[in-house]
């Protein structure tokens, strides 16, 4: 393996081994599970409380060989679908001295080094903070913390071993008086989204809260918050 050029960008994620596990391992696992379907279909079809009972009755009524081939193929297709979704949803981080690129689901987000004052992982999330302590991004990932730390430190980024503002967070309960106007209804709605695992809604409301100067983090379906100063609005009259 050739040595990487000094100063060249470092990429974390998208490894060949990871792709092999997903695109080979998941279809094989799906095929194995699908192959068991004909063996259990008859027993499950006899259970009155079993879900999708009609499907199990259909499989139980097929010749064993046909049911086996069909189960294996369906399992492999399901594994390929999981591999496809997993590949698109992986976070890929490419960092150099000037900036970082975060890619997920074919979409790139670029952040300049001069805008970032802290980088750390919070449980399974990569977090980058701005000058006022605001969150520039919080990305869920299964990437190795050690590899992320080494990549950012190699290029001179301000890696932190823990959230430097962790002690400033307070647990959210409805009706807190210290929240900015409009934040409490958003946190109430976001709590429902978090409890229902509606990640997209929770992410959108995190952005809405950020515009109010509220930073929010989740832990075991509980919300914790802190405030940051909002940027000053420019006076169009220059006063």
pLDDT of residue 239: 36
DSSP string for residues in 127-195:
EEE-TTS-EEEEEE----HHHHHHHHHHTT--B-SS-TTGGG-EE--TT-TTSPTTHHHHHHHHHHHHH
What's the N-to-C CA distance of the chain in angstroms?
A: 60
Q: What is the pTM of this model?
A: 0.73
pLDDT at 237: 39
In whole angstroms, give the CA distance from residue 128 to residue 126: 7
Length of the chain: 239
Dist. CA 8–CA 74, nearest whole Å: 44
Dist CA 72 CA 3 (whole Å): 43
What pLDDT is stored for residue 84 in this prediction?
76
Instruction: Quote the CA–CA distance of 212 and 225 in Å, as a whole number.
Output: 12
Q: Give the span between the Cα atoms of 234 and 109, in whole angstroms.
A: 26
The whole-number pLDDT of residue 230 equals 86
User: Which pLDDT score, from 0 to 100, does residue 234 have?
Assistant: 38
Would you write out the chain's pLDDT as a tens digit for each of its 239 residues? 445 566 799 999 866 667 777 788 888 898 888 888 787 776 766 666 666 666 666 777 778 788 788 888 988 898 888 877 777 778 999 999 999 999 998 889 999 999 999 999 998 999 999 999 999 999 998 899 999 999 999 999 999 999 999 999 999 999 888 999 999 999 999 999 999 999 999 999 999 999 999 999 999 999 999 999 987 643 333 33
What sign has the CA pseudo-torsion 154, 156, 161, 162? negative
Of 161, 120, 157, residue with least CA distance to 141: 120
- Given this model, what pLDDT does residue 122 score? 94
**Residue 15 pLDDT:** 65
DSSP conformation class of 115:
G
Are the C-beta atoms of residues 157 and 116 closer than 8 Å to each other?
yes
Identify the pLDDT of residue 232. 67
Among 143, 155, 158, 161, which Cα is nearest to 12's? 143
């Amino acid at each position: 393996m050739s040595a990487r050029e000094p100063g060249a960008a470092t990429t974390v994620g998208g490894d060949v081994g990871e792709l092999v596990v997903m695109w080979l391992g998941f279809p094989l696992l799906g095929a194995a599970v699908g192959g068991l379907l004909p063996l259990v279909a008859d027993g499950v079809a006899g259970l009155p409380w079993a879900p999708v009972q009609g499907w199990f009755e259909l499989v139980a009524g097929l010749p064993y060989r046909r049911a086996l081939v069909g189960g294996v193929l369906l399992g492999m297709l399901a594994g390929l679908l999981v591999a496809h979704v997993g590949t698109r949803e992986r976070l890929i981080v490419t960092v150099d001295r000037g900036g970082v690129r975060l890619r997920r689901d074919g979409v790139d987000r670029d952040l300049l080094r001069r805008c970032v004052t802290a980088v750390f992982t919070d449980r399974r999330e990569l977090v980058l903070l701005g000058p006022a302590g605001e969150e520039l991004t919080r990305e869920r990932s299964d990437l190795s913390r050690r590899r992320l730390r080494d990549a950012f430190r190699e290029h001179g980024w301000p890696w932190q071993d823990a959230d430097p503002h962790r002690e400033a967070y307070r647990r959210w309960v409805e009706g807190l008086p210290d929240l900015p106007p409009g934040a409490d209804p958003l946190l109430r709605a976001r709590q429902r989204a978090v409890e229902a695992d509606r990640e997209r809604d929770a992410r959108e409301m995190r952005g809405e809260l950020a515009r109010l100067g509220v930073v929010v983090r989740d832990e075991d379906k509980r919300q914790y918050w802190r405030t940051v100063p909002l940027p000053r609005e420019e006076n169009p009259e220059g006063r």
